[in-house]
């Protein structure tokens, strides 16, 4: 917006301000004829010279007694005193109808509402196509809401029936646009849409002066349907309106939202979503209207995105054969993160096409397609964490995965949030991929617990004021995380430890491929940065179409897809599982298999454009990288138990064990005996651990399971049949007792741990 007058520092033409006495601003003096600035009030300009010039301009126009004569060029910036807006006063024209596009009323001092209305009427007559604004030019000028009130009052004054009011698509709700064959819902008694306003029949005045008038309470808001969940709870109303830009908006509003603070949150949500007008002094009437509407249509509401029968529910609508019968209901109007731009072909070429030959990128995109399949195959949620240096491209990979669903920067989130906030984010990503960037931004004290919560799919339990338990937030999702530290290391930096099953729920994959950071093949580009920049730009240009195509295809034959996926996952898991893998590795590989199956399914459905087997190849590479960094195939708890046993023996083999052959050498707090081999013997050292000593060595662990692990690895090689202990006669004891007999292999290097990948 360009203003021709900006206060005391200048006037209409910034290069040639009016300064000659007896003259006034003319069109010839001005560069821009698109904006007219009206200055109202006694202090319209604090600069006396400018105020005098404007006043002389007005007086000279009046003196001509013919201000619209082509021979007289009227002012572009005009001072208007309040007294001049009395009934019958003339407001002289500021610019011709072709030139005027925008009129800004720059008001100083008070201007009574009735006088302001007369000003609006005069301006409308002089420049009917102009936009009327109020405020400071180039600073805070905004549409003048009083203009709508004046238009409404004029419509009432001529008593125009509501279906004969001049219509504008920018003002009327969808169901009331003239020519729309769909009829609007019936309004309750005492409420009507008149002109561009929803009105309530209200008694005004008192005693003999009491009368009923139609009072405007808001821009038209229509209640299209009543909503409730499948259990007959969570009742609401499906609202529809047109925002100021003419776009149709819908919101499934919970009826309970009208109760707290007299519905303030509802009104705030409507205004925030573009409802042009609410008469704040009649908010209770608007609440009464929303409550009293009784539409005939009934829709099932849900509080989470994702699958509901054969429909995939999104904030902006649903996908699938059952889409018309279900809607997302939220506490406030929620803009959809599942946005769509560009074309599927553009996304296939610019994003998915660049994933061919790039394991981390192809894996991330396949992971995005895997998230909606969890309920179809009956698998639990979980996540993958890309760990690497800050500039290796892992964030670009994550945002490319986000482009499957929507605009990458909006759809993806960061870890910089409290656990409570992440619960809300997770519930908006139910049956979808949750992208979380920069693990280091999350408080390390909450890292393990938050990741565990995301994988388990359930928020914290909380109490109401009366002590009753609130319903927990729940979700079912896969998440993709990035960070320079592993989850375990980040938690450890804050003095916290992660739970044993965490590595299965959050699988860590090194992002560095050994070539160009997170990428192996640059598709002819001159460097990793150029490749990442191109991928980022393409993701922003084309996004959201892949998911909609994928979800629509899934809804057409969900049962068939479910059965084939289960078989594919089982076969892939068998092929991917190395020999000797523990059950934790096996559970993780099941998720790798899901990702591979999802990528191949998306390819069969024509979504990715990849050659057959590309997703499986990428999963194999990422699985190998995970196992190599993990260093073993055993369960994490088992490896930790064996490591604890070894550390005790290496640290205390001379100080906590008595000498088998020297009865005079008895260690303080001894846990057993140490028997040295005979001279020139090939035998090694043997340890005889007393039962109580074994419990101390394995403190914090299951001592029985620890003994079985020691037998399995070969540290305990001598025992009674079917037992982990052996009955041995100990020197100086005088009788045989049960002990654990361990060889000196317990002192060996960690490379000998069971299931090692080397």
pLDDT tens digits for range 67-97: 544 444 444 566 666 666 666 555 665 655 5
Tokens of 746: 């317990």
For residues 72 and 92, is the Cβ–Cβ distance under 8 A? no
Which residue has 């007008």 as its token pair? Answer: 277
Helix (H, G, I), strand (E, B), or coil: what is residue 240? strand
- Pairing label, strands 306-308, 311-314: antiparallel
* pLDDT of residue 432 exceeding 50: yes
Residue 667, pLDDT score: 81
Q: What is the pLDDT of residue 13?
A: 34
Q: What is the pLDDT of residues 660-685, one digit of tens each?
A: 888 777 888 899 999 988 777 777 89
Rounded to an integer, the average pLDDT of 110-134 is 77
Give the highest mean pLDDT range of 39-43, 273-277, 600-604, 728-732: 600-604
Q: What's the token pair of residue 184?
A: 């609007």
To the nearest whole number, what is the mean pLDDT of the chain?
81
Average pLDDT over residues 183-187: 66
Q: List the one residue out of 574, 610, 607 whose CA is nearest residue 592.
A: 574
DSSP of 36-56, one letter per residue?
EEEEESTTS-S-HHHHHHHHH
Residue 549 has pLDDT above 80, yes or no: yes
Q: Do 358 and 599 touch, CB atoms closer than 8 A?
A: no
Residues 127-151: pLDDT tens digits?
777 788 887 766 677 788 788 778 7
Task: Give pLDDT, residue 143.
Answer: 81
Residue 236 near residue 304 (C-beta atoms within 8 A): no
Sheet holding 248-254, edge to edge: 248-254, 236-242, 222-228, 298-302, 326-328
Show the tokens assigned to 493.
């930096």
List, edge to edge, every strand of the sheet that includes 311-314. 306-308, 311-314, 317-319
- Poorest-pLDDT segment among 104-108, 558-562, 704-708: 104-108
Residue of 61 and 400 predicted with greater confidence: 400
| Most trustworthy range by pLDDT among 55-59, 129-133, 280-284, 681-685 | 280-284
The mean pLDDT of 217-245, rounded to a whole number, is 91
- pLDDT value of residue 439: 83
Q: Are 437 and 449 in contact (CB under 8 A)?
A: no
> Given pLDDT bands bounded at 50, 70 and 90, which one contains residue 497?
low
pLDDT at 539: 97
Cα–Cα dist 111/671, whole Å: 94
User: Per residue in 433-492, pLDDT tens?
Assistant: 999 998 877 777 777 778 888 888 887 655 555 455 566 788 999 999 999 887 777 777
Torsion-angle region of 5 (φ positive above 0: left; ψ -120 to 50: alpha; else: beta): beta
Instruction: Provide Rg for the chain, Cα atoms.
Output: 38
Among 49, 41, 110, residue whose Cα is nearest residue 57: 49
Residue-wise DSSP of 176-214: GSTT-SSPPPPPPTTEEEETTEEEEEEEES-GGG-EEEE
Q: Where are the domains of the chain?
A: 27-144, 162-304, 344-630, 636-752
pLDDT of residue 635: 73
Helix (H) or strand (E) segment spanning residue 568: helix 558-576
Q: Which CATH architecture has domain 344-630?
A: 3-Layer(aba) Sandwich (3.40)
* 631 or 221, which is more confident: 221
Q: How confident is the model at residue 504 (pLDDT cuts 50, 70, 90)?
A: confident
Q: Look at residue 202 and tell me whether its pLDDT is greater than 80.
A: yes
340 close to 406: Cβ distance less than 8 angstroms = yes
pLDDT of residue 69: 46
| Burial class (CB within 10 angstroms; exposed 0-12, middle 13-18, buried 19+) of 48 | exposed
The tokens describing 388, both together, are 């690497």
263's torsion region: left (phi>0), alpha (psi -120 to 50) or beta? left
Number of H helices, E strands in the chain: 23, 26
Q: Rounded to whole angstroms, how far apart are CA atoms 45 and 721?
A: 105
pLDDT digits (tens, 9 = 90+) for 6-24: 222 233 333 333 333 334 4
Q: Residue 301: left (phi > 0), alpha (psi -120 to 50), or beta?
A: beta
Give the closest residue to 675 by CA, choosing from 733, 731, 732, 718.
731
Dihedral sign from CA coordinates of 583, 586, 588, 594: negative
84 against 174, higher pLDDT? 84
Q: Rounded distance, CA 637 to CA 702, Å?
A: 10
Q: Is the pLDDT of residue 613 over 80?
A: yes
Note the pLDDT tens digit of each residue in 246-267: 888 999 999 999 998 888 999 9
The helix/strand/coil state of 380 is coil
- Identify the band that residue 417 occupies on the pLDDT scale cut at 50, 70 and 90: low
What is the mean predicted confidence (pLDDT) over 33-61?
Answer: 60
Q: Cα separation of 371 and 664, whole Å?
A: 67
Q: How far apart are CA 272 and CA 277, in angstroms?
A: 11
pLDDT number for residue 155: 66
> Are 687 and 718 spatial neighbours (Cβ–Cβ below 8 Å)?
no
């Amino acid at each position: 917006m360009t203003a021709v007058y900006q206060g005391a520092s200048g006037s209409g033409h910034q290069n040639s301000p009016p300064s000659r006495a007896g003259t006034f601003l003319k069109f010839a003096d001005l560069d821009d004829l698109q904006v007219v600035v009206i200055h109202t009030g006694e202090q319209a300009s604090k600069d006396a010279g400018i105020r005098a010039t404007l006043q002389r301009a007005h007086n000279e126009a009046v003196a001509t007694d013919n201000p619209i004569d082509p021979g007289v060029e009227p002012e572009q910036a005009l001072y208007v005193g309040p007294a001049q807006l009395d009934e019958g006063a003339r407001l002289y024209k500021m610019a011709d109808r072709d030139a005027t596009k925008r009129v800004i009323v720059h008001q100083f001092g008070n201007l009574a509402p009735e006088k302001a209305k007369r000003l609006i009427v005069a301006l409308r007559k002089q420049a009917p196509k102009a936009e009327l604004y109020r405020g400071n030019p180039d600073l805070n000028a905004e549409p003048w809401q009083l203009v709508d009130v004046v238009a409404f009052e004029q419509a009432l004054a001529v008593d125009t029936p509501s279906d004969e009011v001049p219509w504008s698509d920018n003002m009327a709700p969808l169901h009331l646009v003239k020519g729309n064959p769909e009829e609007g819902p019936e309004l309750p008694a005492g409420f009507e849409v008149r002109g561009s306003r929803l009105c309530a029949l209200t008694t005004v005045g008192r005693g003999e002066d009491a009368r009923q008038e139609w009072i405007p309470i808001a821009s038209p808001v229509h209640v299209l349907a009543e909503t409730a969940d499948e259990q007959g709870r969570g009742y609401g109303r499906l609202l529809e309106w047109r925002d100021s830009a003419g776009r149709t908006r819908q919101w499934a509003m919970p009826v309970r939202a009208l109760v707290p603070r007299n519905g303030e949150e509802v009104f705030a949500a409507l205004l925030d979503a573009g409802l042009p007008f609410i008469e704040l002094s009649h908010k209770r009437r608007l609440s009464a209207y929303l409550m009293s509407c009784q539409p005939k249509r009934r829709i099932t509401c849900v509080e989470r995105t994702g699958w509901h029968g054969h429909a995939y529910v999104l904030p902006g609508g649903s996908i699938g054969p059952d889409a018309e019968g279900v809607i997302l209901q939220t506490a406030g109007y929620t803009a959809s993160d599942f946005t769509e731009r560009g074309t599927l072909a553009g996304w296939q070429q610019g994003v998915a096409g660049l994933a061919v030959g790039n394991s981390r990128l192809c894996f991330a995109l396949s992971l995005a397609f895997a998230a909606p399949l969890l309920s179809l195959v009956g698998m639990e949620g979980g996540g993958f964490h890309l760990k690497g240096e800050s500039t290796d491209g892992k964030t670009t990979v994550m945002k490319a995965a986000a482009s499957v669903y929507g605009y990458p920067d909006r759809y993806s989130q960061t870890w910089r949030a409290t656990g409570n906030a992440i619960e809300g984010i997770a519930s908006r990503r139910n049956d979808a991929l949750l992208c979380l960037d920069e693990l280091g931004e999350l408080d390390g004290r909450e890292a393990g617990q938050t990741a565990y919560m995301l994988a388990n799919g359930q928020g914290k339990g909380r109490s109401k004021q009366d002590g009753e338990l609130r319903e927990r937030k729940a979700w079912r999702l896969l998440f993709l995380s990035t960070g320079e530290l592993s989850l375990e290391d980040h938690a450890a930096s804050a003095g916290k430890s992660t739970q044993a099953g965490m590595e299965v729920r959050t699988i860590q994959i090194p992002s560095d491929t050994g070539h160009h950071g997170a990428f192996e093949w640059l598709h002819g580009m001159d460097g990793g940065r150029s490749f990442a920049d191109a991928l980022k730009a393409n993701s922003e240009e084309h996004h959201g179409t892949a998911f909609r195509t994928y979800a629509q295809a899934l809804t057409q034959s969900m049962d068939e897809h479910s059965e084939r996926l289960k078989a594919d996952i089982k076969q892939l898991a068998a092929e991917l599982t190395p020999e000797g893998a523990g059950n934790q590795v096996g559970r993780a590989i099941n998720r790798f298999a899901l990702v591979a199956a999802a990528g191949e399914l998306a390819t069969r459905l024509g979504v990715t454009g990849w050659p057959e087997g590309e997703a499986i190849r990428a999963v194999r590479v990422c699985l190998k990288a995970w196992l190599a960094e993990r260093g073993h195939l055993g369960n994490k708890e088992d490896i930790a138990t064996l490591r604890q046993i070894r550390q005790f023996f290496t640290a205390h083999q001379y100080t906590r064990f008595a000498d088998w052959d020297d009865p005079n050498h008895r260690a303080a707090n001894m846990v057993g005996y140490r028997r040295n081999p005979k001279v020139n013997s090939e035998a090694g050292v043997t340890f005889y651990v007393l039962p109580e000593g074994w419990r101390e060595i394995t403190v914090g662990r299951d001592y029985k399971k620890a003994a079985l692990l020691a037998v399995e690895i070969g540290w305990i090689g001598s025992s009674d049949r079917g037992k982990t202990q052996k009955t041995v006669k100990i020197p100086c004891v005088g009788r045989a007792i049960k002990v654990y007999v361990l060889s000196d292999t317990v002192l060996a290097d960690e490379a000998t741990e069971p299931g090692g990948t080397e």
